[in-house]
């Protein structure tokens, strides 16, 4: 479902947010700690910190919907991928390494843009990483401007 250009974008050092909801429909939000795309299945392997975002992660259960948003800080190019959680569990060694590298790179990039380490400490973490396997179902343009909110076809998202 995801074209190569979109895969390259979401796997690049972009800011990542996610939203889940509880059984009553109350939203829970958190910040992602990295993502990679399984080229065979097309699933996302999405990383989040259970200790940083306990409510959002606890509601990220198999079968539930999830929205993930990717934003490049330098120009606000953004997209949102909505999907269904296929599996959730502790991150394995490879995913933990990806999450640690992502957080280190995000800290360096955001500090270079003038955001302080203190501000970032409340949003970025590589502690207690969980890996959410997500089946993408819909893609939306989220870059501010006239196209924001537009549903993208896989070809347009490429």
What count of residues does the chain have? 158
Higher pLDDT, 155 or 106: 106
Summarize the confidence of residues 116-144 as an average pLDDT: 93
Residue 5: CB atoms within 10 A of its CB come to 9
pLDDT tens by residue, 67-117? 999 999 889 999 999 999 999 999 999 999 999 999 999 999 889 989 888
Q: What whole-number distance in Å separates Cα of residue 66 and Cα of residue 136?
A: 9
Indicate yes or no: pTM above 0.85: yes
Angle made by CA atoms 7, 9, 12, in degrees to the nearest 5: 105
Going by C-alpha positions, the residue among 21, 14, 19 that lies closest to residue 30 is 19
The share of the chain scoring above pLDDT 70, in percent, equals 97
Report the mean per-residue pLDDT for the chain: 93
Q: What whole-number distance in Å separates Cα of residue 131 and Cα of residue 113?
A: 28
């Amino acid at each position: 479902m995801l074209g190569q250009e979109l895969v390259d974008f979401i796997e690049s050092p972009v800011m990542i947010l996610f939203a889940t909801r509880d059984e009553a429909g109350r939203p829970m939000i958190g910040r992602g700690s990295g993502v990679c795309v399984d080229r065979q299945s097309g699933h996302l392997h999405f990383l989040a910190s259970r200790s940083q975002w306990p409510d959002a992660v606890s509601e990220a259960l198999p079968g539930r919907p999830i929205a993930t948003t990717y934003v490049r800080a330098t120009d606000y190019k953004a997209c949102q991928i909505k999907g269904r959680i296929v599996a959730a569990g502790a991150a394995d060694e490879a995913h933990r390494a990806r999450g640690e590298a992502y957080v280190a790179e995000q800290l360096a990039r955001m500090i270079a843009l003038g955001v302080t380490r203190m501000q970032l400490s409340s949003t970025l973490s590589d502690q207690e990483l969980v890996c959410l396997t997500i089946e993408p179902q819909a893609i939306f343009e989220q870059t501010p401007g006239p196209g924001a909110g537009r549903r993208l076809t896989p070809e347009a998202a490429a």
